[in-house]
Structure 1
Amino acid sequence: MASSRDRQRKLARAKLDRQMARRAASARRKRQVRAGVGAAVALVLIVLGSVWALGGFDREPKPQAAPDICAWTPQDASANSNLKDVGTPATSGLPTSGTRPMTITTNQGAPVTVELDLANSPCAGASFAYLAGKSFFDNTKCHEITTEGAVHCGDPSGTGQGGPTYTFVNENVPAAAPTPTPSASATPDQPPAYPAGTVAMFGNPPGANGSQFLIFFKDFNPPTPSYPIIGKVTAGLDVIKKIGSLETVDNGTGSKVKPKTDVVVQSLTVGEVASTAPTAPPTGSPAPSGSASPSASPVVG
């Protein structure tokens, strides 16, 4: 039989083994916890790094690019020697409301002023402002007096084939007048699509607008309008009518439309954008009801 001392030794040995096993298990749990915490921290750092790289911690959102308002279609100057390369206007940040004054000085009299309509023809307005800033129109000839009753200008080559090395699409073509029917009741005459003083683009081919434009010196009302309106004459229509009355000669193609006397655009400038605020009624206009002053002097006609 084992002595009591041997039994005590065995019991102490067994107790020590149990303690060592518990310590080993505890150490394994600690290592597993530390490994789990390390993995979690690494994952968090990866996520935070990805968010930072994508701009998630930027104080202000990155500004988005302004949307394009106009598109300019390139034209090959090597295929058409009449084109003049002066670059292209901006495509975004362009005014789309209000008006811009355009002044055309010719060798035929006082300057002609035009109001460009930016609300209905923003790209035409942007193009004219850009080309005017490049002196594109200066010292060019109005090469045609059309049979439709308009002065045709804006081609530096004077051939009807010239312009810048870009084009843009139509913006403001008038609608065709409704066709009357026998059963329709009588209605007042429709206003002309192009009243005298209208300024319109001339595309060559139609719909591909560059720099050529028409200034109508008499009313024109075609069955199917095709010229996009870009503005109207505000002063100097008498000069345009004078040009329209000039004698014409053959332009080399069999058409007797070229002014016999040179009509030279000495300069064309475009001013700053004007607001769309309502203007005061002209002097002599009837005052609104209830606002007339008893002491107001009558307007002498």
Structure 2
Amino acid sequence: MGQVAVRGGRWAVLALAGALAVGGCSSSGSSKTSASGKSWSKEPAMSIDTGKKYTMTIHTDQGDIVIAMDAAKTPHTVNSMNFLASQHFYDGSFCHRLSTTPSLQMLQCGDPTAGATPKRSDGGNGPGYTFQDENLSGATYPDGTVAMANAGANTNGSQFFLVFGDSQLPPSYTPFGTITAGHEILIHVASGGVASPGPDGTGRPTIPVQIKSVTVSPS
């Protein structure tokens, strides 16, 4: 059956369940600035060693989530994450979208303007630049996957989603990491459910998740 994308100029995550698509969230291709006012007109220059593996740690108020990243497979994604972490881009932001359906179990984060109080613009902001898709050939999204949210092909920015249960998605979202620690945090957050679900059943998690900081380092 065909896909039905709900995008409206916002970053989308689709879930295939027959013809059902779950969409919306993350920043537009034009990208608004972050809460700190930081925004860049183009993707940062490559500064990582593309032959190395990297560890990204998301320090949240619920605990640390540790992600193994392979720069050889996703050099642009890892480089962008490294750059944004060094700029404290994510510091203080809240994860803004939770899905707990059988076909899509994920927590989405990365809008730097998403605060403690939900607002209509949540999911509509990014770093000002976009970059290309990577690692999509045969991509699947099993439990533990970390992938980029987007608004279509080659529109990656700062938003990403953390998969805590096998999810049915087309190979359209750059998978760039695997959760190696902190999976239980996502299960705990999911257990609280979605606060005020939208038409697609997703929304802010009832148990809030604030990103204190993000660090990236060679493994």
Give the TM-score normalised by structure 2. 0.73
Give the secondary structure class of the aligned counterpart of 1:131.
helix
> Which protein is richer in helix relative to its size?
1
- Candidates 97, 100, 115, aligned match of 1:144: 97
Contact persistence 1:89–1:126 (CA under 8 A): no
Give the TM-score normalised by structure 1. 0.54
Per the alignment, do residues 92 and 82 of structure 1 end up closer, same or farther by CA in structure 2, a change over 3 Å counting? Answer: closer
Structure 2 unmatched ranges of 5 or more: 1-28, 115-121
AA aligned opposite 1:114: I
> Deviations for 1:2-51, whole angstroms, at most 9, x for unmatched residues?
xxxxxxxxxxxxxxxxxxxxxxxxxxxxxxxxxxxxxxxxxxxxxxxxxx
Quote the Cα distance in structure 2 between the aligned partners of 1:253 and 1:220: 19
AA aligned opposite 2:124: Q
**Percent of aligned positions that are identical:** 32
Per the alignment, do residues 261 and 239 of structure 1 end up closer, same or farther by CA in structure 2, a change over 3 Å counting? Answer: closer
Q: Counterpart of 2:150?
A: 203
Q: CA deviation at 1:259?
A: 1.1
The alignment's C-alpha RMSD in Å is: 2.4
Quote the Cα distance in structure 2 between the aligned partners of 1:153 and 1:93: 24
Equivalent pairs, count: 179
Q: Counterpart of 1:194?
A: 141
Q: CA deviation at 1:239?
A: 1.0
Q: Counterpart of 2:45?
A: 91
> Which protein is richer in strand relative to its size?
2
> Deviations for 1:164-219, whole angstroms, at most 9, x for unmatched residues?
0100011012427xxxxxxxxxxxxxxxx211111100012453000000110001
1:81-160 map, 5 Å: 85-87=38-40, 88=42, 90-92=44-46, 94-108=48-62, 110-146=63-99, 147=101, 148-158=104-114, 159-160=122-123
Quote the Cα distance in structure 1 between the aligned partners of 2:91 and 2:212: 5
Per the alignment, do residues 256 and 128 of structure 1 end up closer, same or farther by CA in structure 2, a change over 3 Å counting? Answer: closer
Higher relative contact order (Cα pairs below 8 Å, separated by 6+ residues): 2
Q: Which has the larger radius of gyration?
A: 1
Residue 262 in structure 1 maps to residue 208 in structure 2: yes
Quote the Cα distance in structure 2 between the aligned partners of 1:94 and 1:172: 18
Quote the Cα distance in structure 1 between the aligned partners of 2:200 and 2:46: 43
Q: CA deviation at 1:256?
A: 4.1
